Amino acid sequence: MSSPEDSTIIIGNQILKVSLAAHRGRVVVDARWQYLPADGGQLKPTRRGVTFVAAALPEIIAALEKLKALMVHDGYMDEGSPPKIFSHVYPSDF
């Protein structure tokens, strides 16, 4: 169930596709990292990502907003700017 409302987000050289899908009779939100094949074809999904029932979207957005506020409060990002943490390695004060 792909829709015209699918969003593709480019973060550095990474591509994240967020879309609605049908899975086992439920509507789900799928956020999945994509890649371009070497032959230059269309984007293909990787196994990295998350899928959750669409009904949970408001709660997930609220949790992410809380996390963002905590990151701003603790100095890991400025309001409206990308985070200062760009790696999977935790900062020494984390």
- Separation in Å, CA 80 to CA 72, 83, 84: 9, 9, 12
> In terms of residues, how long is the chain?
94
Which tens digits make up the pLDDT trace of 11-57? Answer: 777 899 999 989 899 999 999 999 888 888 888 889 999 999 999 99
Q: What is the mean pLDDT of residues 76-86?
A: 75
List the beta bridge partners of residue 27. Answer: 22
Q: Is pLDDT above 80 for 71?
A: yes
Cβ atoms of 77 and 71 within 8 Å: the answer is: yes
**CA 3: distance to chain centroid?**
17
Bigger pLDDT: 80 or 22?
22
